[in-house]
Chains A and B, each alone.
Chain A
Amino acid sequence: MSTLASTAVELARWQFALTTLFHFIFVPLTLGLAPLLAVMQTLWHRTRDERWLRLTRFFGTLFLINFAIGVATGLVMEFQFGMNWSAFSAYVGDVFGSPLAIEGLGAFMLEATFIGLWIFGWDRLAPRVHLATIYLVWAGTWLSAYFILAANSWMQHPVGYELNSQTGRAEATDIFEILFQGFVLFAWGHAIFAGLMTGGFLVLGVACWHLRRGRNIAMFRSAAKLALIVVLPVSIVQLVWGSEFGVAVTDAQPMKIAATEALWDTEQPAGFSLFQIGGFTESDQTPSFDIEIPRLLSFLATNSFDGQVVGINELQSQAEQQYGAGNYVPDVRLVYWSMRVMAYLGTLSVLLALWGGWLLWRNKLEGAKWFQRAAVAGIALPFLSNFAGWILTEAGRQPWVAYGLLKTEDAVSGSVSAWSVGLSLGVFVSLYAALGLVDLYLMRRYARLDPPEVGGDEEGAPQPAPAY
């Protein structure tokens, strides 16, 4: 492969990584905020307690600011497959395209149409019907995540297809297997819990900021309580779920797990490395410093404290036998640390949620200044975990783009020059940087406003948040 061609692959990979991570700032927020908004509005609908209406509108504004960018960056994701990865698209489109098309028809359209009805329908729809629109938005966001993850899971673990020797392309043979394989269910649950944590910690952090300021106490106490009711169980379940997902990945992609643990040689039982210096490359396989919990990796990877975990070296030679000469080891340092960032921040999230739950139980949330500070900082936790999780799952699949079928270096568009990819990378990075800054500015601004007043009746006084 020529230098320019491999530059094109590298640039296309950077572009995919950056645009996906940026997109995934907004996706989990909508996954988490949509159900929270639905619950808030339902509480208002049931109790007629005005503070729930004000909270719905307040957090609705934050939701909308992010929803817009999610739509825009999502379009880039779809186009990118054809633009930068046309060899991949032609090779797997028969299988991979269906979940994407179903997502558009069945989920995205639902979400986009009913969000318009929700924003503009407050005084045009009967209250029950208007309430139903936010539930449909919620359904749309969760379904959308499902189909996208079905497509991604197929790249991680291709099933329900066969290779057509005439066309040299993969063709679907079993849509149910593609849509409902175990990998999808694990990935979807993991993403939904991540979304609920992202939305929940955002509501918690914003509510605590207002509690600290000492205004609208009763209202934001309710918001913080609702957020804690969500994040406390979800963050605990997520730890367990993530670890079970790890077991599933060990079956499907043993190399990913071995690389994630920087486990070069097969061990039984295998210890879990908490922190290590060195030991990340083929020429340097033994760490110079290492803190390890005995037997824990065996348990995490196989659900048994005596389980055998196969090492990188053995898997590499197996892969060479199966697929021919080549390097089948992902970037060990990158996946080792991304897994740990994800898991440690996830644990921190549980601790924060437990702290908040205890304060709530003892009725001390309003006065707990230190917790309120921590909760504001805690808004960042799920975002960073989400990033780390995607880096782990995508970088850990390398050198494959579709595991065992197609290598990343063979998946790019042959007709697109490195210059074109570089140009579009530059354009997206600058555009997204500007978007990110404006989004952050708007989020800060709107998160710090007092929630809009509502008059005695629905046709009440103007509120300080017009959409256009």
Chain B
Amino acid sequence: MTLEIFWFCVIGLLWTGYFLTEGFDFGVGMLLPVLGRSEDDRRTMFEAIGPIWDGNEVWLVIAGGATFAAFPVWYATMFSGFYLALLLILVLLIVRVLSFEWRGKAESPRWKAMWAWLNTIASIGAPVLWGIALASLLNGVPIASDQSFAGSFGDLFSAYTILAGIAVCLLFALHGAVFLMLRTLGDLRERAQRAAAGLAPLAALVGAGFLVWTLVVASDRNDKDLFPGVVPVAVAVLAALSAVLLVRAGNERWAFAATATTIVAVVVTLFVSLYPRVMVSNPGFANSLTVDNASSADYTLTVMTVIAAVLVPLILLYQAWTYHVFRARLGGDDAGSPVDLLARRTGG
């Protein structure tokens, strides 16, 4: 395996990490107006993702940084080409960061309600836009012969990419609902289960439709065969179907494993369909960016490989430990009022 291929896989892995972890905290944000009936519920929901969303978002920062270092041309063309979409994503992510930090900093119910709503809007908007942007890498945008973007904002939008946005959004909503089943107790957990049971068939159906269409686009636009792309598609569909059953059975641990597997398989499908290109050009297929013509030189890739080999396992280790520390369920009767719970716990 060449270094370029290795780093293509690493970037895929980083996006997987981002979707897998931030996926459920986006999902919890989306469900705030549905499941958060009282202020206590909403606070419990915020607290369920409170200690971890920040670390989850760092996966995105690292995916961006790693793309910059390993595939500078991909980074340059994608980020300048998807300009307005990324601008919107940044705005939504900033608003979302603030909603976490500032919601509790004033007592007025209107202040709290405003930040909860802004969190929901951002939690829906950002995944939809990420879905559209990543699907556009495969669907193709116009690229000039000097490797720079030659299209406009409108080139990102087609029936296929919009479906991608909706599919990602639905999968995250389901992932978030199952996460809440895992992390809460009592009434809130039951409502999370009902929401998950309603969402699961829809997410499975739309997700499967998107993945099948992805195989078609990969063949049309990127000259790919059915195999091996069909393998992760099959895994994703099977995992989504088991999620439907597991949610209904109230088996949240395995249901979470199933939604997680679905999300992993979706990202893998996209990356397998892209390879050996990283950004398809349409029209002008010959101008597509590939793992070879968009990458850094071997020296940089070797250095980055050594660094990643040391640091990534370390990160996985301490992130796993964080999840272990915050494994206890929230809410329910035995925890007392969340106000007391929180007030005891917060440093600030």
Contacts and interface: CB of A to CB of B under 8 A. Distances in A.
Given A79-B86, A468-B50, A98 B98 contact: no
A74 B60 CA distance: 12
B108 to A, nearest CB: 13
Contact of B93 (A60, A69, A72, A413): A72
B61 A78 contact: yes
A216 interface: no
B277 interface: no
B308 A105 contact: yes
Contacts of A123: 344-345
Given A90-B147, A104-B66, A171 B94 contact: no
B3 to A, nearest CB: 13
Given A78-B64, A420-B84, A98 B300 contact: yes
B97 A97 contact: no
A120 B71 CA distance: 37
Contacts of A101: 62, 65-66, 68-70, 304, 307
A354 interface: no
Interface string A94-105: 111110111111
Interface residues of A, number: 87
B205 to A, nearest CB: 33
Interface string B269-298: 000000000000000000000000000110
A351 interface: no
A44 interface: no
Nearest to B151: A415
Contact of A415 (B50, B57, B81, B90): B81
Interface string B313-337: 0010011001001101000000000
A416 interface: yes
Interface in B163-215: none
A115 interface: yes
Contact of B97 (A63, A68, A79, A96): A68
B73 interface: yes
B72 A93 contact: yes
A415 B150 CA distance: 6
Interface in B77-95: 77-81, 83-84, 86-87, 90-91, 93-94
A93 B345 contact: no
Nearest to B328: A124
Contacts of A69: 97-98
A109 B58 CA distance: 6
B148 A172 contact: no
Contacts of A105: 62, 65-66, 307-308, 311-312, 315
Interface stretch (A206-214, A398-406, A458-466): A458-466
Contacts of B149: 86, 413, 415
Contacts of B94: 72-73, 75-76, 431, 435
A429 to B, nearest CB: 12
A422 B251 CA distance: 51
Given A72-B98, A169-B72, A103 B65 contact: yes
A64 B348 contact: yes
Contact of B87 (A72, A83, A103): A83
Nearest to B87: A424
Given A79-B79, A103-B65, A468-B47, A97 B103 contact: no
* Secondary structure dominating the interface of A: helix
A122 B344 contact: yes
B78 to A, nearest CB: 7
A100 B69 contact: yes
A117 B324 CA distance: 11
A117 B65 contact: no
Contacts of B62: 101, 104-105, 108-109
Contact of A122 (B68, B70, B322, B345): B345
Contact of A125 (B100, B147, B319, B325): B325
Interface string A298-322: 0000000000000000000000000
B291 to A, nearest CB: 15
Nearest to A464: B343
A334 to B, nearest CB: 28
A416 B83 contact: yes
Contacts of A459: 344
For chain B, what secondary structure do more than half of its interface residues adopt (helix, strand, loop), or is it mixed?
helix
Interface size class of B (residues with CB under 8 A): 35 or more
B346 A122 contact: yes
B76 A89 contact: yes
Contacts of B90: 75-76, 79
A93 B54 contact: no
A156 interface: no
A113 interface: yes
A82 B75 contact: yes
B26 to A, nearest CB: 15
Contacts of A446: 105
Nearest to B62: A104
B299 interface: yes
Interface string A162-189: 0010000101110100000000000000
A56 B87 CA distance: 37
B80 A108 contact: no
Interface string A106-135: 101110111111111111110000000000
A83 B102 CA distance: 29
Given A83-B87, A415-B81, A113 B148 contact: no
Nearest to B103: A468
Contact of A64 (B64, B66, B322, B347): B347
B299 A171 contact: yes
Contacts of A57: 347-348
Given A72-B97, A100-B65, A467-B347, 15 more contacts: A65-B102, A68-B100, A78-B61, A82-B79, A86-B76, A89-B72, A101-B307, A105-B62, A105-B312, A108-B58, A415-B149, A424-B83, A460-B344, A466-B343, A468-B104
28 contacts: A64-B348, A65-B101, A68-B97, A69-B97, A72-B94, A72-B98, A82-B64, A83-B79, A86-B76, A90-B75, A93-B71, A93-B76, A97-B68, A98-B304, A100-B68, A105-B312, A112-B57, A118-B347, A119-B51, A119-B345, A120-B345, A121-B51, A121-B325, A172-B299, A463-B343, A465-B346, A467-B104, A467-B348
Q: Which 8 A-B pairs have the closest CB atoms?
A: A93-B72, A82-B79, A97-B69, A61-B348, A68-B101, A462-B343, A413-B80, A86-B76
